[in-house]
Amino acid sequence: MHKLPPNPDELGRLDLDDILGTIDHEVRQRFGEGEVADYIPSLAEVPKDRFGMALAMLDGTVHAVGDAREGFSIQSISKLYTLTMALEAAGDALWTRVDREPSGDPFNSLIQLELERGIPRNPFMNAGALVTTDVLLSHHADAEVALLAFIRARSGNPRISINMEVVASEQETGFRNVALANFIRSYGNLHNDVQAVLDFYYRQCALHMDCVDLARSVQFLADGGRCPSSGEQVTTSEGATRINSVMMTAGTYDAAGDFAFYVGLPAKSGVGGGIVAVVPRVMGLCVWSPTLDGKGNSLLGRYALHRFTRMTGLSVF
């Protein structure tokens, strides 16, 4: 049944644990659909029969189900953190180096880069994230330390770390990323050493987190840029609105139209099977199931988000 968005009273009466239980039950009937990402060998080893979902409400309450506390490789979800930090570092000048239009092409596509002279379409494609990574390397004395501090503070979990096995796996097989980085460099849109940019990029993708960490880490985007875990104003409310809008149009690559159609929330996915999403003024949330659809988004994760917005009415539309 399709529901209209709830008013605040109705929101308080939603039985979120019951809704999560229903979704968990439905998703588990569908285990086996989709394929794990095998172009990064260490991701191909992750068990397929996993599903977790966590809702981090702005009052601090967390609702979680299934494998919500099992860690996984966040992959491109990290592009959300690097965009936020690069916007703080470079301000609006960032948009002269990376655009904010949907791509309609796969996340690791090279084709637009030549036509658009080394300016990536958006910060959520691999090419765009290589540019935000470059901005962070220029801005911070130790960009990795800054990124880890950012993520630990956003999620309230000081133990979050990088899985070095995944880094090694990406270093061995990241031929497209090597090509993208060199191509962008040829247009003068990377300022640091290409190998240093790639190394830091792989380390972000290999951050290991669980659904609860990730749901908490995007709460600031639901709360006008303020992080409830640390009390810090991470970005302005205008900044949060803008990041959410780029997530809506480009956070799930060439499936962003389908996501708006079926889910209706700003969302960012990764090939590790995680998807974070934001319900403005209400919660940050995360789903994880490792098997992907043809466009690199978690197949059952997307189904779970679709069921969630239909059962609660919590789509932005």
Binding site for ligand DON (CB under 6 A): 75-76, 107-108, 126, 170, 177, 205, 269-271, 296
CA 207 vs CA 78, 144, 152, 163, 277: distances in Å: 8, 11, 11, 6, 18
Q: Is 39 among the catalytic positions?
A: no
Q: Is 271 among the catalytic positions?
A: yes
The residue number with the shortest CB distance to ligand DON is 76
State how far the Cα of 290 lies from the Cα of 161, in Å rounded to an integer: 20
Instruction: Select 177 or 315, whichever has its Cβ closest to ligand DON.
Output: 177
User: Which residue in 81, 202, 253, 303 is the catalytic one?
Assistant: 253
What minimum distance in Å lies between the beta carbon of 193 and ligand DON? 18
Q: Is 3 among the catalytic positions?
A: no
The b/e string for 96-121 (b: 16+ C-beta within 10 A; e otherwise) is ebbbbebbeebbbbeebbeeeebbbb
User: Which residue in 42, 65, 73, 76 is the catalytic one?
Assistant: 76
Instruction: Select 57 or 147, whichever has its Cβ closest to ligand DON.
Output: 147
Q: Is 246 among the catalytic positions?
A: no
State how far the Cα of 55 lies from the Cα of 219, in Å rounded to an integer: 10
User: Which residue in 27, 135, 234, 271 is the catalytic one?
Assistant: 271
Return the number of other C-beta atoms located less than 10 Å from residue 45's C-beta: 10
Residue keyed to tokens 């191909």 = 44
User: Quick check: 196 and 136 in contact, CB under 8 A?
Assistant: no
Nearest 10 degrees: Cα torsion 113, 90, 102, 205: 80
What minimum distance in Å lies between the beta carbon of 271 and ligand DON? 4
What minimum distance in Å lies between the beta carbon of 37 and ligand DON? 8
Instruction: Select 226 or 268, whichever has its Cβ closest to ligand DON.
Output: 268
User: Which residue in 103, 109, 135, 201 is the catalytic one?
Assistant: 201
Extract the tokens encoding 41: 């060998």
What minimum distance in Å lies between the beta carbon of 57 and ligand DON? 27
User: Which residue in 27, 42, 73, 79 is the catalytic one?
Assistant: 79
What minimum distance in Å lies between the beta carbon of 15 and ligand DON? 32
Instruction: Select 126 or 217, whichever has its Cβ closest to ligand DON.
Output: 126
Instruction: Select 270 or 284, whichever has its Cβ closest to ligand DON.
Output: 270
Pick the closest to residue 78 from 67, 88, 89, 86 (CA basis): 86
Extract the tokens encoding 152: 């630990």
Q: Is 201 among the catalytic positions?
A: yes
Q: Give catalytic residues, as residue numbers.
A: 76, 79, 201, 253, 271
